[in-house]
Structure 1
């Protein structure tokens, strides 16, 4: 049976990242992400629910995060779920937590944007999937152009344009 383990989130950083290194020299950093969900109750009352998510970044991504990410900055992140298990040193009980291992991220908002609700992007780093260990990864850059910071909205194709052309050149 097929399975899929993919997560895509947009939220604000809850703390400045701190980069550390494994004994083999691979950079790793943990960041916190606050993700908001707006909804309306059955009574018509508008509510906002915030979920706090832990994200781990490895390699070059971790270094970029340490250099450019700041508390409050909005980001888009893609990754996979991973279950961490450990034994509590004080109580001896087994503990678990679900976290995200980041595969790619993109800064949202303007340059040095410390908050807000996103907007045109800028910088995206995308790397191959991580096994979460001390393995160095070769970068696989996303070939899509970064969204324009001006304009916003969908591109305009002009009124009444005829799209009956052959689509043989489309790369997908």
Structure 2
């Protein structure tokens, strides 16, 4: 039977994206987003629970995040969950869970702009090789009723 690994989140950035460029110029961006839910406890008092998610973007998505995303902005993330294991300095086995995004939509208005949002898609690296592949993902941007596509290597031509 087939399985599905799909995550959809809408939240706010906890800090500006940290972007690194790997061998071959492949960009990777990492940042946390917070999602919150409210509920009433058994005493009828309203409670709020915030969950933090570590987001990873590759290639063109990482470059868009570097240029346009800032702490506090709202973002829609679609991707898959991935758990990594490692040993810390004391030799203890640790785990980290992250969301590898293949779709991102900026929900907050741009700073200095007159509103709008953008939607971007990209591709994550192959998990079997352990290294980022050099293929380019596709990206699409939309704003104010018209949509146009651009290549990931030219994020300056965003129409919003």
| The two structures share one fold, judged by TM-score above 0.5 | yes
| Structure with bigger gyration radius | 1
Structure 1 position 53 matched with structure 2 position 53: yes
Secondary structure, counterpart of 2:33 in structure 1: strand
Give the drift of 1:24.
Answer: 2.2
Structure 1, unaligned runs of 5 or more:
114-119, 149-172
Structure 1 position 91 matched with structure 2 position 83: no
Aligned to 2:34: 34
Structure with higher helix content: 2
Give the drift of 1:19.
Answer: 1.2
If the length of structure 2 is used for normalisation, what is the TM-score? 0.78
RMSD between aligned residues: 2.2
CA contact (8 A) 2:76 2:107 kept: yes
Structure with higher strand content: 2
Instruction: Describe how 1:129-140 pairs up with structure 2 within 5 A.
Output: 129-131=124-126, 133-140=131-138
Structure 2, unaligned runs of 5 or more:
146-160
Report the Cα distance in structure 2 between the residues aligned to 1:121 and 1:44, rounded to whole angstroms: 39
Taking a change above 3 Å as real, the CA distance of residues 23 and 33 of structure 1, as seen in their structure-2 partners, is same
Aligned to 2:120: 125
Secondary structure, counterpart of 2:63 in structure 1: helix
Report the Cα distance in structure 2 between the residues aligned to 1:13 and 1:60, rounded to whole angstroms: 19
